[in-house]
A and B are shown apart, each in its own frame.
Chain A
């Protein structure tokens, strides 16, 4: 009798622990979802004062002036878009080359080992060090170009930030492109080779058509990276509040304006206008990520 009771107790205890284990795990997964929703809600609630005070003008207004309490974020939207697109234009050919080099031309061997490690190392260098290095190397370089063209030689500006940004996102987009290249079924490639196709033709007519959607997802995810990059851009873009008229102009991105002004923002509307920019950044990167990740996922299957 006693033994049976004890056994029941053990079983009960076991069941309790079992359910505790499962609940803990599920709770931690729920925690991530709750965390994300809380982030969104906090941003939304905190930017309410600015949304109420400014409304839609926030998106198309061109004046950003804390003194007159006027907040139009268009210059930053334009600045962000310009730097992100320009850096993608610069980086994509290089990322594609590395992706092809590692995924197609030299998938194994010591050379690809070196390049793989070098690219990983490049990815590991902190953004703030990139920015610091850029001040001493890319700024004089761009200044020299500007002198040649007779443009006011600021050195800093959209182009400077974009060049640095493109160096920073190459590792990320290259690794994504390599991933999708490695997923092209090898029997397709072998079939083309056996018909006498050259490697270029295999890449052009078999690999590229197969990875088109995957590649666009990779570029999309890189865009998400470029939009949110803060420190290096803040150090090189010049931080002015007007809409940049050319790629040599100085400007500001959404992330850099937050980094520059957040701790100094005293007014209620000013503070919440900066948070609204953060909300914008959050929503845009989230949408980009969801689309990009879903395309890549479809690729994996």
Chain B
């Protein structure tokens, strides 16, 4: 009997492969556990009320917080979402509603895929050339525009996917009642898929909340509290980067605290989308 086809060999090979897959899968989970553990361990000890409500202090002085970075991050991301959502939803609406063989659809669809793949540092360069260099100064709003570009693909894709799932009968019923087409889309189809669109927006925000590279040459960072979007502004990822590569232990502590907060925010946003998905998913 041929060894390679004996059933014992085949079954043990099968088992071996299964164990191999399971082991590799478990190994992959190690870094995740390690990184979360590290952030929790170092971050929790750094966080207190003082940390959240005070400004960073110069080297040598203990204490200090990251208030400016938290406020800066919120500012930059909110403005980015305000820019990206209208454009993203309207492109998504276009995709969900147009003939997928048309030239415009195919080219712009490809453009969205390409946009998604552009390295974030290149987006940073572009925004620097468009909005920072001409005005001669770094500004929070240029950082927002950079993040908006990075948010667009995820908003567009989730809008398209969600609206494509809304059944035709809904559209037909509305049209049959004599509602004009544009009103049907805006008043019937979009509200039906609203949860999915919102989901995409939150996911997009979670994706860019930790982006550092596009902010390096745009929002730039600011050691002071600043509420003007036309001036440089601090943000959590930037502060983590600057403090992480510094040689001071005090600053590393601040960076761990900031990392903890950033990861918590992203985790919270992810859980939010999960809950929203479970509750309002378009099901027909």
A106 and B66 CA atoms in complex are apart in Å by 43
Interface residues of A in 1-37 (CB under 8 A from B): 14, 17-18, 20-22, 24-26, 28-33, 35-36
Task: State whether A124 and B126 are in contact (beta carbons under 8 Å apart), knowing that A18-B180, A28-B90, A32-B112 are contacts in the complex.
Answer: no
Among A30, A128, A174, A227, which residue has its beta carbon within 8 angstroms of that of B241?
A128
Contact check, A200 vs B13: say whether CB atoms are below 8 A apart: yes
Q: Does A299 contact B (CB under 8 A)?
A: no
Which of chain A's residues have a CB closer than 8 A to the CB of B225? none
- Which residues of the other chain, B, contact A39 by a CB distance below 8 angstroms? 118, 122, 126
A-chain residues with CB within 8 Å of residue B53 when the two chains form the complex: none
Contacting chain B: which of A52-60, A179-187, A209-217, A277-285? A277-285
Contact A132 B119 (CB under 8 A): no
Contact of A231 with B126 in the complex, beta carbons under 8 Å = no
- For residue A218, CB closer than 8 A to chain B, the reply is no
- Min CB gap A260→B, angstroms: 10
Interface pair B38/A170, CB less than 8 Å apart: no
Chain B residue, CB-CB nearest to A98: B25
- Number of B interface residues in the complex (CB < 8 A): 84
Contact B125 A278 (CB under 8 A): yes
Residue from B25, B108, B130, B216 in contact with A97 in the complex, judged by beta carbons closer than 8 Å: B25
Smallest beta-carbon distance A181→chain B, Å: 12
Which residues of chain A (255-301) have a CB below 8 Å from chain B?
Answer: 255, 258-259, 262-263, 274-275, 278, 281-282, 285-286, 288-290, 293
Task: Produce 1/0 per residue, A240-257, CB < 8 A to B.
Answer: 000000000000000100
Q: Which residues of A contact B220 (CB under 8 A)?
A: 263
Shortest Cβ distance from B220 into A: residue: A263
Residues of chain B within 8 A of A21, CB atoms compared: 181-182, 185-186
Task: Check A98–B217 contact: CB distance below 8 A.
Answer: no
Q: Contacts A137-B34, A228-B120, A289-B113 known; A125 to B24 CB distance under 8 Å?
A: no
Main secondary structure of the interface of B (DSSP, over half): helix
Judging by beta carbons under 8 Å apart, are A125 and B25 in contact? no
Say whether, besides A25-B93, A101-B25, A125-B266, A285 and B118 are in contact (CB < 8 Å): yes
CA distance A71 to B129 in the complex (A): 21
Is there contact, CB below 8 Å, between A46 and B129? Answer: yes
A200 touches B126 (CB 8 A): no
Check if A128 sits within 8 Å of B210, measured CB to CB: yes
Interface contacts (Cβ under 8 Å), in number, total 237
A98 to B20, CA, bound (A): 11
Query: Of the candidates B117, B211, B216, which one forms a contact with A289 in the assembled complex, judged by CB atoms under 8 Å apart?
Result: B117
Binary per-residue interface labels of chain A (166-191) against chain B in the complex, 1 for a CB within 8 Å, 0 otherwise: 01001000100000000000000000
Q: Distance (Å) between the CB of B94 and the closest chain A CB?
A: 4
B232 to A: closest C-beta gap in Å: 12
**Does chain A have a CB within 8 A of B172?**
no
Per-residue CB proximity of A99-123 to B under 8 Å, as 1/0?
A: 0110001000000000100111110
Is A221 an interface position by the 8 A CB rule? yes
Given the interface pairs A35-B115, A132-B244, A230-B121, the reply to whether A43 lies near B35 with Cβ below 8 Å is no
Q: CA separation between A72 and B217, bound complex, in Å?
A: 23
Q: Does B139 contact A (CB under 8 A)?
A: no
Taking the nearest CB of chain A, how far is it from the CB of B267, in angstroms? 7
How many A residues, CB 8 Å from partner?
Answer: 81
B263 within 8 A of A: yes
Q: Contact: B21 with A124, CB < 8 Å?
A: no
Report B92-148 residues with CB < 8 Å from chain A CB. 93-95, 97-98, 104-105, 107-108, 110-122, 124-126, 128-130
B262 at the interface (CB under 8 A from A): yes
**Structural contact, A293 and B113, CB atoms closer than 8 A:** yes
Query: What are 28 A-B interface contacts by the 8 Å CB criterion?
Result: A21-B182, A21-B185, A28-B91, A28-B94, A29-B95, A29-B108, A32-B112, A42-B130, A94-B27, A96-B24, A101-B21, A115-B25, A121-B36, A122-B32, A126-B240, A126-B266, A127-B212, A128-B237, A128-B240, A129-B35, A132-B259, A133-B38, A200-B10, A225-B117, A228-B122, A262-B216, A275-B125, A290-B114
12 further A-B pairs in the complex, CB-CB below 8 A; given A21-B182, A133-B38, A262-B216: A17-B182, A35-B149, A36-B115, A42-B126, A94-B25, A125-B210, A129-B35, A137-B38, A278-B122, A282-B119, A282-B122, A290-B113
Give the 6 A-B CB pairs with smallest separation, nearest first: A126-B210, A228-B119, A97-B24, A21-B182, A289-B117, A25-B94
